[in-house]
Chain A
Amino acid sequence: MAGGLSLYAEGTSLLHRAHPLTKGVLTLSAIALAFIAPSLWWVVGILVVLLALVTAAGVLRRFFAVALAILLPITLLLLAVQGFANPLNRTVVFALGPIVYYREGLAFAALAALRIACLVSATFLFSFTTRPADIAEALMQRGLSPRMGYVVQSALQIIPQTLEMAGRIQDAQRARGLETQGSLPRRARAYLPLMLPLVLSSLVATQERAMALEVRGFGLKVKRIARYEFFDSTLQRALRWALALAVPGAIVARVAGWR
């Protein structure tokens, strides 16, 4: 089953119900602050808040399944490379014969890994609790043209649709005896039989869809009616402003000597 490219998980938590713009601002500012903040404990604080929100949204299990797969290898790689090879390395943590592990590298790796953890957590928090279509819808409610809104919405679906089409084509050619896996020459031979139908079918599909959209009145100049009322509140508006202002504020603080 294709299901779109969406990571969205059905839910009714506060975060699921929050305005997409609130979640968008939250995500972007959390990422920005994590990279602006000067010291480890600030970043830990941001990560703790994000993880608390992930828990509150009821997607903790899903989060660990996906996020760990990305974060674990990155963290291990950072810890290994930096601890052994960071040019600032002075203070020895431990030594195994000729191999020496240093404290400066460890600190650098920990900060970098935590920042990446914030980036990944904030992104997944947003993806798990926000339908892709709602992003476009929220933007259209703030004045994005319906045509651009359609472009955003359909762009989010074009990859899974193309993958599905490619899967059907691959099935059809394999059933004729074409080997699509294996050695390079073998795969090169499979290129045309797989690509040509894909390109042609995509072109035809695009033309047919353009017709179908006209038949449904897409592009008619009428006053756009919001599809949903997103749940918004004074608190959310205040939060959006606060977060949005916190980012330039933090930059100014850093320049002024925040350590």
Chain B
Amino acid sequence: MEVTRPALVFDRVGYAYEEAPREAVSDISLTIAEGEWVGVTGPTNAGKSTLCLLAMGLAPHFFGGRLKGGVTVLGKDSRQVSVIERSAEVGLLFQNPFTQVSGARERVDDEVAFGPECHGVARPEVEARVAEAMERVGIAHLAARHPMDLSGGQLQRLALAGLLAMRPAVLLLDEPTSQLDPAGAAAIFDVLAGLHQRGTTILMVEHRLERLCELCPRVVAMAAGRVIADGPPDEVFNREAVQERVGIPVFTRLARDGALPRPWPVRVGDAATAFAKSIA
């Protein structure tokens, strides 16, 4: 990969929420280059969502708490930029799509327009962006519906469309497809792949290890608030500490249980090759 300027830099970051006795994340140092697609995974309470909140600036601006070290996004220090200012360049998709809609708009297309309008985007440009964002995530046919009448899966697409219409350079996604059926999830990952190709930086929290390995060239594994491994998925999931504390993808476990030689594959293609070799 060609060297570009970093989109996200975590420099020895520690963060504790207001009144929390312990830090939610500790000693995080990560540099993510512009255009990278990084997957983040780990057990509950590993600090994955906190990582997203830190990158957005909601921690500490919204939550208060104690921040150690520095978080720099697109060259700007978190302490110096408000969340609202950062929203021009950085988008965050929350785990819960129900609370991500504005609660003020009565049509899906108006809801998608909310962000660009807040940013003072010119009217014809707003229309164009709204149409494009709805088309991309596959909700164009719902344009006239009331956001409250949508299912969880449809709301999740709507929330993503609302972010895409703001054209962020960096996307932070906290389990972006949790509410979707497999076909719907695959469609959203196609959208993300398209954005990745056009240079958007993506940081994505995902529990489904197989998806993570298939999609993300780089995986960050977290546990108990710390990064325990960071690198290409094949490398990360061949580490014993990761297998023990984070989990092990299906193909990797099959290779282990099928007594294949190490390193074990993490993607279906590599697994097919490895098993074919062992059968022969």
In the bound complex, how far is the Cα of B122 from the Cα of A226, in angstroms?
10
Q: Which of A131, A213, A223, A227 contacts B120 (CB 8 A)?
A: A223
A154: chain B residues within 8 A (beta carbon): 102-104
Contact status A215-B56, CB under 8 Å: yes
In the bound complex, how far is the Cα of B137 from the Cα of A84, in angstroms?
66
Given contacts A2-B146, A2-B148, A2-B149, contact A217 B94 (CB under 8 A): no
For the complex, is B118 an interface residue (Cβ under 8 Å from A)? yes
Contact residues of B between 98 and 124, Cβ < 8 Å to A: 98-106, 110, 113-115, 117-123
Contact status B146-A212, CB under 8 Å: no
SS of A interface (majority): helix
In the bound complex, how far is the Cα of B62 from the Cα of A216, in angstroms?
14
A153: chain B residues within 8 A (beta carbon): 104-105
Contact status B84-A220, CB under 8 Å: yes
Q: Which of A2, A6, A213 contacts B102 (CB 8 A)?
A: A213
B249: chain A residues within 8 A (beta carbon): none
> Nearest B residue to A153 by beta-carbon distance?
B104
> Nearest B residue to A4 by beta-carbon distance?
B146
Q: Which of B85, B96, B104 contacts A208 (CB 8 A)?
A: B96
Contact status B99-A227, CB under 8 Å: no
Give the shortest distance, in Å, between B186 (CB) and chain A (any CB).
26
B→A interface (CB under 8 Å): 56, 58, 62, 83-85, 87-88, 91-92, 94, 96, 98-106, 110, 113-115, 117-123, 126, 146, 148-149, 162-163, 166
A2: chain B residues within 8 A (beta carbon): 146, 148-149
Q: Which of A133, A160, A215, A227 contacts B83 (CB 8 A)?
A: A215
A161: chain B residues within 8 A (beta carbon): 103, 148
In the bound complex, how far is the Cα of B94 from the Cα of A204, in angstroms?
13
Counting chain B CB atoms within 10 Å of each CB, the highest count among A150, A157, A216 belongs to A216
Q: Which of A208, A209, A219, A223 contacts B84 (CB 8 A)?
A: A219
Contact status A220-B103, CB under 8 Å: no
Give the shortest distance, in Å, between B20 (CB) and chain A (any CB).
16
Given contacts A150-B104, A211-B94, A223-B120, contact A216 B115 (CB under 8 A): yes
Q: Which of A158, A212, A217 contacts B100 (CB 8 A)?
A: A212
Contact residues of A between 1 and 39, Cβ < 8 Å to B: 1-4, 6
Contact status A157-B104, CB under 8 Å: yes
In the bound complex, how far is the Cα of B108 from the Cα of A4, in angstroms?
13
> Nearest B residue to A210 by beta-carbon distance?
B62
Contact status A157-B118, CB under 8 Å: no
Contact status A216-B162, CB under 8 Å: yes
Q: Which of A212, A218, A226 contacts B99 (CB 8 A)?
A: A212
In the bound complex, how far is the Cα of B118 from the Cα of A1, in angstroms?
29
Contact status B119-A208, CB under 8 Å: no
For the complex, is A205 an interface residue (Cβ under 8 Å from B)? yes
In the bound complex, how far is the Cα of B92 from the Cα of A4, in angstroms?
26
B121: chain A residues within 8 A (beta carbon): 225
Q: Which of B94, B119, B120, B126 contacts A212 (CB 8 A)?
A: B94
Give the shortest distance, in Å, between A259 (CB) and chain B (any CB).
46
Contact status A217-B62, CB under 8 Å: no
- Known pairs A153-B105, A212-B99 / 4 extra A-B pairs, C-beta < 8 Å: A157-B148, A212-B102, A220-B120, A227-B117
In the bound complex, how far is the Cα of B146 from the Cα of A118, in angstroms?
30
> Nearest A residue to B116 by beta-carbon distance?
A217
